[in-house]
Amino acid sequence: MMPMHEIWTNLRGKKEKIHAGVKLALLFSPLFFYLYWNRPELSISLTVGLFSFWGIALFLDMRITASLKDLVRKHEANDIFRTLYKKFGRKAVPLQLVIELAFVMLFPSIMTLRQPGETFEIDVTGAAILGGIVGVLHVFAWRNNKKEIQKIRERI
């Protein structure tokens, strides 16, 4: 069993990341639920734009995150990606992509209330809204990763 002081030392480094993640989630959750429950009609171009924004932000974040092993091991806030990266290395990137794609596409559909016997359909509007919000979170992560890389390079 790990001694308490080691647990505390490990948590102190993660504490700031956890607080930042919680703050971002608290900031964007009301926006998602407001847009989701009020169901704005999104044009095709806005839907495509939101998905494109999410895809570009995800690509930038994953590219910069996977560029340095030290960044993933010590500074990655996404526990799923960090765990996958420890186990599979760079092969974790496509796995994370599949997990996030499933989350963005299926979470809004699962939240939709259905009558018994109604068929399951992908909620494209909800997925576009969630994709846009997740894209913003990736932009924040990308920006923070750039700062961490600068700090790492300054120490080298």
Structurally, how many domains does the chain consist of? 1
pLDDT of the residue at 135: 92
pLDDT at position 148: 79
Range of the domain at 114: 4-155
The ranges of the chain with pLDDT < 50 are 1-12, 15
What is the per-residue pLDDT for 9? 44
* pLDDT tens digits along 61-73: 888 887 777 666 7
Whole-number percent of the chain with pLDDT over 90: 21
* Alpha carbon distances (Å) from 23 to 29, 37, 58, 94, 135: 10, 22, 20, 27, 16
Question: What's the burial of 7, exposed, middle or buried (CB within 10 Å: 0-12/13-18/19+)?
Answer: exposed
Q: What pLDDT was estimated at residue 23?
A: 66
